Amino acid sequence: MKNFIPFDRAMVAPLFAAAALVPATATAQTAPASLESDKWQFTAALYGYFPVIKGTVKYPGDLGTSDIDIPFHDLLDHLKMGFMGAFEVRKDRWGMFTDALYLNVGGSNSQTNNFMTGAGAVPVTANTSFSFKAWVVTAAGEYRVASDPKWTVDLLAGARMLYLNPSLDYTIASSGGGISGNKHLSKTFWDGIVGIKGRYALGDAPGWFVPFYLDVGTGDTAMTWQGITGIGYSFRWGDVVATYRYLDWNGKSGKSLQDLNLGGPMVGVQLHF
């Protein structure tokens, strides 16, 4: 039987303003072709990422699975900490990038109901506390296969690491006693990935462009993939972009991770130097 893991929006004060979110693979929107040279080039990005989180996990000892469902508004209300760091280095056609995404979302809820018995009404209080912590780290080397004033296209190969740490604590108490328990999962998954990334200029630089990124891989999970696209505007110092990012993992049968996906908009700034 599946257990739905709810949130109560009013329980945890949001700390979203303190979260520095930098989607590393958003460096897919690298410097335009005119900047390609035999000199070292670097790209750093600062973003806000607002995903909906959905997934299904199997806690140790459970016969069934448990659902994770964190809507956009609950992410804002219950985000304790979020961090993403990105950095890309390139020389001529060769380059590499790395990113690290961390999310810590949690909340608690308490509810009391009266149940009628032969002795009258008996109050029963249920307390629940849920947390979702995850690291997503991607690192890859890249090689530029197309470079002209309109297009830049890079092929990439590397690895993605997912560290997943959801937990649920509960207590059900009444005047006659109570029960309590917890469910906890701490697991790391590694997958190799291959992909493509780049940008298409809609006019002369500086100006509007369309960034794109796609990777797919497998390893500890049956399949993982990631896609990013949207719109950006280039300046001489860097880019401003607004994109949509989707991350997905499909677990192997019987394993602790059945599936997990994060999807939502990103907005931010990229600096080239």
23/49 Cα distance (integer angstroms) = 7
28/109 Cα distance (integer angstroms) = 40
As a whole number, mean pLDDT of residues 56-78 equals 85
The CA–CA distances, whole Å, from 72 to 33, 87, 117, 132 equal 36, 27, 41, 14
As a whole number, mean pLDDT of residues 99-116 equals 77
As a whole number, mean pLDDT of residues 186-213 equals 94
Asked if pLDDT for residue 42 goes beyond 50, the answer is: yes
Question: CB 161: neighbour CB atoms within 10 A?
Answer: 16
Query: Structural domains in the chain?
Result: 3-109+120-272 (2.40.128.90)
Provide the residue type at 224 as one letter. Answer: T
Token pair 């993939």: residue: 225
pLDDT digits (tens, 9 = 90+) for 75-107: 778 888 888 778 999 999 999 999 888 989 887
243/267 Cα distance (integer angstroms) = 6
pLDDT digits (tens, 9 = 90+) for 217-273: 999 999 999 999 999 999 988 999 999 999 999 999 888 999 999 999 988 888 989
Question: CB 273: neighbour CB atoms within 10 A?
Answer: 10
pLDDT for residue 218: 97
pLDDT for residue 170: 77
Residues 6+ apart with CB under 8 A from 146: 152, 153, 198
160/55 Cα distance (integer angstroms) = 18
What's the CA angle centered on 63, arms 61 and 65, to 5 degrees? 100
* Residue 55: both structure tokens together: 């997934």
* Residue 58: both structure tokens together: 């199997």
Report CA 240 to chain centroid distance, whole Å.
21
As a whole number, mean pLDDT of residues 205-226 equals 95
